[in-house]
Chains A and B, each alone.
Chain A
Amino acid sequence: MYDFNYHKPSSIDEAIQLFTDLEDAVYLAGGHTLLPSLKLRLAAPTDVIDLAGIPGLNGIDYSGDDLKVGALTPHDDVSTSPVVQSVIPALASLAGGIGDAQVRNRGTIGGSVANSDPAADYPAAVLGLGAQLVTNQRTLNADEFFTGMFETALEEGELLKEIRFPKPEAAAYVKYPNPASRYATVGVFMTKTSEGVRVAITGAAPSVFRATDMEAALNADFSEAALDGISLDADMMNEDLHASAEYRAHLCVVMAKRAISQI
């Protein structure tokens, strides 16, 4: 990696001030996208602002209506939390299926969500559960948060503080991993709520998205058979060495059915 200046602020305000003042700064959460990019010299920021010194960004709380997860909470904490396991077991299970033990001990939910990697798992849970995303400035709905490949509604310098997941009636996450990278080639987060079914799919397209045709069919009849006539448009799918667009579109339906079978 190229040399950079390292900063470890102790408050959000300090972090944002640094970000504003410095020439080409980036935030560092768990670092699982940033550090490989730095090592491969694909990213060359002048300054790295490590958020690890800011208190209050790491933790799990279910004292109110929503399950609140701090942005710097590592995947392993979510995966092994008795609270998460009891309130939204699908979320704990998703977190336990990210990467390997080392990744889960360092990678954070906020880092993953703010990065909006098309193959990341967490965006499917955030969108599938209809979570709210609390930043230093405002609260965003999941439906307005993910805007494209590696793009979100976060403004320059805006910091994600917390994610609030409403407790669903039931939920399940099923993924088909890329055999090499083990990222999601297709991951389907299926949620039943009092307001209907939400189906969020990651990996398949440039950004996580809701499969609205599936939702409509499942609102009418929540069964695997209800998806038999559904086919997703391969033209909107990603394509790589391991999975064509057509195969991805097919896997979306297969994984959705498997998610239904788990609910």
Chain B
Amino acid sequence: MAEQSIGKSVLRKEDMRFITGKGQYTDDVNLRGQTYGYFVRSPYAHADVGEIDVSAAAGMPGVVAILTGKQVAEDEIGGLPCGWMIHSKDGSEMKQPLHPVMAGSKVNYVGEPVALVVAESFVEAKNAAEMVSVDYSERDAVVSVTDAQSAPVIHEDAPANTCYEWELGEKASTEEAIASAAHVTTYELTNNRLIPNAMEPRAAIADFNPATEDLTLYTTSQNPHLVRLILTAFIQLAPEHKLRVIAPDVGGGFGSKIFVYSEETALAWASMKLGLPIKWTAERSESFLADAHGRDHVTTAQLGLDAEGRFVGLKVKTTANMGAYLSTFASSVPTYLYGTLLAGQYKTPNIYVEVDSVFTNTAPVDAYRGAGRPEATFLLERIVELAARETGRDPAELRRINMIQPDEFPYQTPVALEYDIGDYEASLNRALKMADYDTFADRRAASEAKGKLRGIGFSCYIEACGLAPSKVAGELGAGVGLWESGEVRVNPTGSVTVLTGTHSHGQGHETTFAQLVASRFGISVDDVEVVHGDTGKLDFGLGTYGSRSLAVGGSALAKAADKVVEKGRLIAAHLLDEDAEKIDFEDGEYRVKDSNQAKTFQEIAFAAYVPHDYPLEDLEPGLAEKAFYDPGNFTYPAGTHICEVEIDPDTGVVEIDRFTAVDDFGTIINPMIVEGQVHGGIAQGIGQALLEGCVYDDMGQLQTGSYMDYCMPRADDLPSFAVGMTSTPCTHNPVGAKGCGEAGAIGSPPAVINAVTDAVGVPDITMPATPEKVWRAIATADKNAA
């Protein structure tokens, strides 16, 4: 049966189990003899840890064991490594203070694990945890990013609380360009700290079998092989071949489940020590405290323009918060995922960026949907907007005259990246049309007539996805390769099992990857099953983050599928008694050119596994192929977002009236899934712009530790999005895909803030632009106008 499913909105194969409660998440797994872990966490942001008295807790009902950070140290377990080495401008290596699995003599953020109570039930573990008495001596907390470098030192081996002082680009030429610019726009900004809030909290079950010495870890991970690698090679808990990591259904990650955390590491260690399965599922309060947070930059930037409005130089100085310790990929986020994106869609010839990363007494900060690229886009698209206003230019036209043109690719930016392809104006033009930009003035007048303020804001973003060419990543300090593996197993009846090293936790891989492979074989999507998330079943893989799964993992599968097609051709040639080069494969059939002699894909599969009439002397039986794909470059999704807001001046409440997104993701396999990804990303971007903000007080206590105070976007905060697509397929991978998972969260925040500040008539409002901040800005604007 012939079927071409690329480009079709096939309904998601995985949704039936998700929406009927039949998913199998980590917390749904229960093992015989299972015990429960509960962590004693630091109530202080910064304190010395004296004696830990567990005597009262140890006598509580059901308690099996109580393990502390001191025992972790005695067993020489840890610390948790950071997988990306960044060098400072003076050539020195970044500072990597010990990140203990559980705190030893000092705690450095509220929520840091201090002890693990193991009991026969969850409630017994929690009850006993309350009875563990820890003698803390509190110290002053370092909370402010801007003051961190002059504050008391948190880690002795990180003077001035500084992890690294990194730079990229040409300092002298950039300063020269700005000094001689016709106009210079200066912008100081804070990129607000966010808490990821995946729907499923983190969870893990560690199960050590003392007889076989096999350790199985079920965990909520976006990349189970990476967990295995880190726990074995770096933390040396177990030999790699004796550790199996299973990440079953995972309910959202947004980056927060990339990392290897204290909890699953402590659980694995404790299970080996006790010879028992131990389960831990985070309570939501723990997620707020101890999931890696995102963003948290303070930045000053200058953009120079010539008399015609062309950008001549961009200089950026950022201080980035790492939190108390370096999380798994924290160091790469404000550097190679941030500084490299500062060219945006523009031909700015001179760019220089400096980034100081600092430690504070807050939860670790790491990649969160977009990871560095939202911070770069926010800075760039805000400062470009300000430049347009200051020089009296239309913000869309200023962007247009600076854009890299389609005939200028490949384009080498001054900040290390080489863009392969794009057509930025096409997205801009399409978005302007969809957003009815021509008639905006009418809508503004209509709003004013009813006492409301209306504004419009643009964001022309670019991002770098498909992490990443391994050689380049290695040169930049990555501790791992960033290729991907794929295996295509054709079963004897012609159905197909696909194995991928990427991981789906909401992205719909089970459908998209099935479409990709089914279309190559001309078979039904229903005949393809996708397997992921289990190191016991799969070749090594790098997992899912950075919008890489289709561009890198899909490319591996495409290569493997193509190998299957070629082997099938040899089998068909034998069965049809014809030379292989005279056999075409199309629509699921191997056919002799210019003839009606043909064998179906299913017939070939059967012949491969029942090789009674088969060229066994020349060809192995069976029909299964593997491929490892290492990308040749990053992919560069790009597009234009336009936000239009109406503001109630009496309350400062912002209503997003229209939101238009036109994106170029290259080749699209499933438009419905892509649109869903865009919707989710925009919702998170609007959340950052208007609603979400993580707040610690001066003592380092988390003020936004529940949904009563941390404002997640809800359906009624959002309009219906208008989503459009343009397409310039990626030039260097076999799928032509660029990646779509993060674009919404990258492109949208500056569009929203540009719209809000346009409506109010002020240069800036710090994110989140809450109603009170907007109300105060309106008062300022009114005062200035008076």
Contact = CB atoms under 8 A, between A and B. Distances in A.
Interface of A: 2, 40, 176, 179-181, 240-244, 247, 250-251, 254
A180 B691 CA distance: 8
A121 to B, nearest CB: 16
B709 A180 contact: yes
B775 A241 contact: no
A241 B695 contact: yes
B650 interface: yes
24 contacts: A2-B127, A40-B285, A179-B691, A179-B711, A179-B770, A179-B771, A180-B691, A180-B709, A181-B707, A181-B708, A181-B709, A240-B709, A241-B704, A242-B709, A242-B711, A242-B770, A242-B772, A243-B772, A244-B772, A247-B772, A247-B776, A250-B775, A254-B650, A254-B651
A2, A176, A180, A247 — most chain B CB neighbours (10 Å): A180
B442 to A, nearest CB: 27
Nearest to A182: B714
A241 B703 CA distance: 8
A250 B651 CA distance: 9
Given A247-B772, A250-B775, A241 B651 contact: no
Interface in B645-660: 650-651
B614 interface: no
Given A241-B704, A244-B772, A250-B775, A176 B710 contact: no
Nearest to A247: B772
B707 A180 contact: yes
Interface of B: 127, 285, 650-651, 691, 695, 703-704, 707-712, 717, 770-772, 775-776
Contacts of B710: 180
Contacts of A180: 691, 707-712
A243 B771 CA distance: 9
Nearest to A242: B770
A176 B653 CA distance: 10
Contacts of B717: 179
> Which 5 residue pairs across A and B have the least CB separation, nearest first?
A180-B711, A181-B708, A247-B772, A254-B650, A179-B711
Contacts of A40: 285
Given A241-B704, A244-B772, 14 more contacts: A2-B127, A179-B770, A179-B771, A180-B708, A180-B709, A180-B711, A181-B707, A240-B709, A241-B703, A241-B709, A243-B772, A247-B772, A247-B776, A250-B775
B713 to A, nearest CB: 10
A40 B712 CA distance: 20
A175 to B, nearest CB: 11
Given A176-B651, A254-B650, A254-B651, A247 B709 contact: no
A241 B705 CA distance: 12
A241 B717 CA distance: 19
Nearest to B771: A179
Contacts of A2: 127
A198 to B, nearest CB: 23
A251 B770 CA distance: 14
A247 B707 contact: no
Contacts of A244: 772
Contacts of B711: 179-180, 242
B300 to A, nearest CB: 26
A251 B649 CA distance: 11
A247 B695 contact: no
Contacts of B776: 247
A179 B708 CA distance: 9
A40 B286 CA distance: 12
Nearest to A248: B772
A242 B650 CA distance: 16
A92 to B, nearest CB: 20
Contacts of B772: 242-244, 247
A177 to B, nearest CB: 10
A241 B691 CA distance: 12
Contacts of B695: 241
Nearest to B648: A254
A254 B649 CA distance: 11
Contacts of B771: 179
B775 A247 contact: yes
Contacts of A250: 775
Contacts of A247: 772, 775-776
Given A179-B691, A179-B771, A242-B772, A251 B651 contact: yes
A250 B771 CA distance: 12
A242 B768 CA distance: 11
A40 to B, nearest CB: 8
**Residue among B127, B650, B712, B770 with the most chain A CB within 10 A?**
B650
Nearest to A250: B775
B707 to A, nearest CB: 6
Chain A CB within 10 Å, residue with most, of B127, B717, B771: B771
A48 B776 CA distance: 46
A240 B706 CA distance: 14
Contacts of B775: 247, 250
A248 to B, nearest CB: 9
A244 B652 CA distance: 13
A241 B709 CA distance: 7
Nearest to B717: A179
A244 B691 CA distance: 16
Contacts of B127: 2
A181 B710 CA distance: 8
A6 B421 CA distance: 68
Nearest to B768: A179
A174 to B, nearest CB: 11
B673 to A, nearest CB: 28
B371 to A, nearest CB: 25
Contacts of A176: 651
Contacts of B712: 180
A199 B695 CA distance: 35
Contacts of A251: 651
Nearest to A100: B714
A187 B579 CA distance: 82
Contacts of B650: 254
A180 B197 CA distance: 14
A173 B493 CA distance: 67
A232 to B, nearest CB: 15
A107 to B, nearest CB: 16
A25 B776 CA distance: 47
B295 to A, nearest CB: 18
Nearest to A186: B651
A255 to B, nearest CB: 9
